[in-house]
Structure 1
Amino acid sequence: MTDRTSTLYAKLLGETATIEWKALERFWAKGDLIWVAPSLDLVEVAEAMAENRSDIFAKWRSDGTVAPLSAEQALDLQTRDPQIWAVVVSPFVIMQEKKVD
């Protein structure tokens, strides 16, 4: 990891916050909401997106661990209203359901 990458990771980490599904619905409706599987580091995914690292992003997409949020997932989130972590990498909002300990 380079200093520049470490700085970007720290910046994105500082911009990551919990958010309610209700606040994300409009981003989903526009197609700007990206879902990240719980097995991945949300900030690492955001960093890869910000740096246009298409190789790793393509791998995650093909693995099904990063994808646009589906209608089924949106309905599930609306029904359950779990805690969600999110970070903006314009024009997208990258989200991940917060793990409950």
Structure 2
Amino acid sequence: MLPVTDESEEILSTNEKLNLETARIPWAELQRLYARGVVMVVSENLDLVSVAVAVVDDLADQVKAWVGQGKLRRATDKDALEWYEGEASLWAVAVAPWVLVQQEKSRD
């Protein structure tokens, strides 16, 4: 049985909390965060919430591996321009100090 804070609210796992906090956000609303340098792009072959959990849980080796593989990286001017011109809406979740974003997975 999960611990409860009151009779109706169960404590959620980090994964569950971040899943609930993940949403599609228009690029126009993310531009100011990009200007601050806090937007990180998550490769479409990774699970956005799993990456967020790794950041929150400070799984540094895993995060460094993704960065080294180019699967997690800072958004670039090229990304920003493409998203702006395409009026993109991205999946996003905030995990201080970053905002992780991911384009919708391709449907092949």
The answer to whether 1:54 aligns with 2:60 is yes
Q: Report the identity percentage.
A: 33
Can you list the C-alpha shifts for 1:67-94, whole angstroms capped at 9, x where unaligned? 0101111111111122310001012111
Which residue type is aligned with residue 50 of structure 2? E
Structure with bigger helix share is 1
The answer to whether 1:25 aligns with 2:31 is yes
Which residue type is aligned with residue 92 of structure 1? W
Q: Unpaired runs of 5+ in structure 1?
A: 1-5
Alignment RMSD (CA, Å): 1.3
1:15 to 10, 14, 21: 21
Structure having the higher Rg: 2
TM-score norm. by structure 2 comes to 0.84
* d(CA) in 1 for partners of 2:47, 2:25: 17
The 3-state SS of whatever aligns with 1:88 is: strand
The answer to whether 1:77 aligns with 2:83 is yes
Query: How many residues are paired up?
Result: 96
Q: Unpaired runs of 5+ in structure 2?
A: 1-11
Which residue type is aligned with residue 39 of structure 1? N
